[in-house]
Amino acid sequence: MRRRARLPRAGTIRGLAIAGVLIAVLAVAGCARTQRSPLALVPGSTVTLQASDIDLEQFSTALSRHRAALAADLAAGEDRPHAFGAASVAASELLRVQEELAGLTQQAPSADELVRRTLERFELHRFAGQNGRGDVLLTGYYLPELAASDHPDDTHRFPLYGIPTDLHQVDLGVFSSDLAGKRITYRVLADGTIAPYHERSAIDSGNALAGRGLEIAWVDDAISRFFLMIQGSGILRYAGGTTRNVNYAAQNGRPYEAIGKLLIREGRIAREDMSMQAIRRYLSAHPEEQERIFATNPSYVFFTLADGGPYGASQVALTPGVSLAVDRKVVPQGTVVLAALPILRFDAAGAIAAVGQVLRLMIVQDTGGAIRGPGRADIYFGSGAEAEQHAGHLRHDGQLYALRLPRAP
């Protein structure tokens, strides 16, 4: 996760105003056929409208932030093509889409009308989903809070590291448009050769970064630190009540491996009971297993301290309920998406009582280690207990449609 405006402290789906009578099941003709391309153009006339959920003010704010970032990139001469499914799109077109949507948002009297005008004005490119039929697995992330110190002590024993000086990354798309969206992360060895960067076990158990002055803070709980790396950003609370944002800065380039899958496979947690909360409970009850379980996920995140944020991979401040994390090999940062989202409703005990569906406009502003391919996306929920509840339990299918300006036939 990762410009300097502070986000609202709480921003969950439930906190957004349900705007009218539209929801969408987005039943697209031909949906039974397997979609081979990551994105497929579908006519807007085939979208079946039933209800919508868009906070027009929040969406307008998010558009404004991202338009400023895209305009700055273009002013600096950054307008190379980015992967858009099997095709490509330039930053200048992404900006035009956002500018037109900003105008529509200001003119539309309601979220319902905004959706109608969006369907009339833009091309819809459906994500293939996990099964080639448009079913995208949606999960959530939020802004956790951790107790922290500037120095290690008996309580705060777990370091958060800044970016190591020997961590290097190359965007291969700079060399060829065929490699758009692909990157490699590496370190240079003493003999001048390169190697993958240290994995989690080498850093946490092997002390590969110890003694190099890279620690930016120390936290009091290994489990919370692990989940902070999954969420990407958080809030550090120091003795005396002061707080600082800790934001995503870089990642070691290693693949993300979900420890939830391991715990299911080993019979530790039943598949139907799996959630972030269930994982935390298991790890707390079995401290002797934490190191082994953590090590199965070689991905490792490095952080930076900031007075604002969190910021996405696009370096734009994230907006709860609007910001979406998607694989950059599918669509680029700044892509606007029409999404049919599951809405979770909980009972008094905190269990899922019902799952509804809403239609929302969102902006791709982040990526994630577990977000790979056209069948995965991650929704940013904000901070606070309700955000944590939604982010921890959301693991449901939805549909995503990337917006693009109509092209000449």
**What are the DSSP calls for 72-106, one per residue?**
HHHHTT---EEEETTEEEEHHHHHHHHHHHHHHHH
Q: Do domains 13-141+318-383+397-404 and 143-306 have the same CATH topology?
A: no
Q: 13-141+318-383+397-404 adopts what CATH topology? A: Barwin-like endoglucanases (2.40.40)
pLDDT of residue 107: 94
Mean pLDDT of the chain: 89
Mean pLDDT value across residues 257-266: 96
Between 11-20, 122-131, 310-319, the lowest mean confidence (pLDDT) is in 11-20
Grade residue 29 by pLDDT with cuts at 50, 70 and 90: very low
Q: 143-306 adopts what CATH topology? A: Ribosomal Protein L25; Chain P (2.40.240)
pLDDT of residue 174: 82
**Which residue, among 115, 80, 145, 126, has the nearest Cα to 383 in the 3D structure?**
145
Grade residue 19 by pLDDT with cuts at 50, 70 and 90: very low
Q: Is the pLDDT of residue 4 over 70?
A: no
Mean pLDDT value across residues 257-276: 95
pLDDT of residue 409: 66
Among all chains, which residue has been given the structure tokens 């980015």? 82
**In the chain, what percentage of residues exceed pLDDT 70?**
91
Cα distance between residue 212 and residue 165, in whole Å = 10
Mean pLDDT value across residues 292-303: 97
pLDDT of residue 9: 34
Q: Is the pLDDT of residue 147 over 80?
A: yes
Q: Is the pLDDT of residue 7 over 50?
A: no
pLDDT of residue 301: 96
Q: Is the pLDDT of residue 136 over 50?
A: yes
pLDDT of residue 332: 96
Q: Are the beta carbons of 86 and 39 closer than 8 angstroms? A: yes
pLDDT (tens digit, 9 = 90+) per residue, 67-126? Answer: 999 999 999 988 888 999 999 999 999 999 999 999 999 999 999 999 999 999 999 999
Mean pLDDT value across residues 155-175: 94
CA distance readout (Å), 93 to 48, 177, 362: 27, 16, 17
Break the chain into its structural domains and give their ranges.
13-141+318-383+397-404, 143-306
pLDDT of residue 46: 66
pLDDT of residue 188: 95
pLDDT (tens digit, 9 = 90+) per residue, 191-243? Answer: 999 999 999 999 999 999 999 999 999 999 999 999 999 999 999 999 989 99
Residue 215: count of CB within 10 angstroms of its CB: 17
Spell 271-287 as b/e; 16+ CB within 10 A means b.
eeebbbebbeebbeeee
Grade residue 180 by pLDDT with cuts at 50, 70 and 90: confident
Among all chains, which residue has been given the structure tokens 């929040």? 58
Grade residue 66 by pLDDT with cuts at 50, 70 and 90: very high
Q: Is the pLDDT of residue 11 over 80?
A: no
Query: For residue 169, which amino acid is it?
Result: Q
pLDDT (tens digit, 9 = 90+) per residue, 348-402? Answer: 888 888 888 899 999 999 998 889 999 999 999 999 999 999 999 999 999 999 9
pLDDT of residue 326: 97
pLDDT of residue 203: 98
Q: Are the beta carbons of 236 and 148 closer than 8 angstroms? A: yes
pLDDT of residue 369: 80
pLDDT of residue 28: 41
Residue 374: count of CB within 10 angstroms of its CB: 26
pLDDT of residue 368: 86
Q: Is the pLDDT of residue 30 over 60?
A: no
Enumerate residues 6+ apart whose C-beta is below 8 A from 167: 185, 187, 197, 250, 252, 302
pLDDT of residue 1: 53
